[in-house]
Every structure is written in structure tokens, then in C-alpha cells.
Amino acid sequence: MGDRKTELCMFDALKGASWPAPQGGLVGIARNPFEFQAGDDVRAPVQWNEGQVATQRASLKGELSQCKKGTSGRFTATLYIDTDGNPISGSVTPPDEHGEGAVDCLVDVLLGARYDSPGSWPAKVTLDL
């Protein structure tokens, strides 16, 4: 989603919701897609690729590794970068539930960095950590 605070709020709401009992066993799967659409008066951010933040990611490698210590697998980050190069928001998806403890640390490191200016419009970038 790209905004950790919003994601945490949504997780809390979903955890507190009532769910029907699984049929035929102890474990069930509930699927319901959620879509968020910007209004017609909102311009989508410029799409960046990982290469456009490669220098910053390399400089943060040590801090990111410390956050992920004791975990394995690929984390995926989504960042929104303002026109001045400062992060607007960001979030990280862990490879599994065991990586959830590293997410806030990773988000803090990524949001604490400064990035190149995307120009006249904010940018969105998704990258593997």
C-alpha cells in the first residue's frame, strides 16, 4: 500500500473483525480484494524503477541488514518520494509472518533517507530488500 500507519490500522481492524468458522476443518482462507482509487482530480505519481534509488539503497545496506537480522527471504518496499527528494510515506511487505518484526525498522530506515528529486511530480518506487 505504501503507508505503514494506514496498513497497521487496517490490520488491527481486520484482526478485530468477526469471521465465519471454517467449514470442514480448523483453518480457513478468507479472500476479499480491496482497491483504493485516487479521485479523478489526483495525478498518479511518476513510476520509478529500483535503479533510480540504487545509490541510496546501497548507502543504507548496513542499516537495512541490521533490521533484517534473524530473518530470511525477500522483503518488498514501496516508497513515495516528494518533489524535493524527501519520502512522503512508505511500507515494507515481509516474506512471511516471521519477518513482520523487522518491518517498522526497515520503514524507519527508508523514510530517514533522502532521495533524488523526481522532478515536478512525486514518484513511487517498489524495490526488493
Q: What is the mean pLDDT of the chain?
A: 89
Number of domains in the chain: 1
- Other C-beta atoms closer than 10 Å to the C-beta of 52 total 17
In a domain, 96, yes or no: yes
In a domain, 90, yes or no: yes
Residue 126 has pLDDT above 70, yes or no: yes
Domain with 91 in it? 46-129
Give the pLDDT of residue 8. Answer: 80
In a domain, 52, yes or no: yes
* 8 Å CB contact between 100 and 94: yes
pLDDT tens across 54-110, in order?
999 999 999 999 999 999 999 999 999 999 999 999 999 999 989 999 999 999 999
Global confidence as pTM:
0.80
Nearest residue to 55 via CA among 128, 116, 100 = 116
pLDDT tens across 25-57, in order?
777 777 777 677 777 888 889 999 999 999 999
Nearest residue to 45 via CA among 15, 14, 2, 7 = 2
Angle, helices 4-15 vs 100-111, to 10°: value is: 160
Residue 1 has pLDDT above 70, yes or no: no
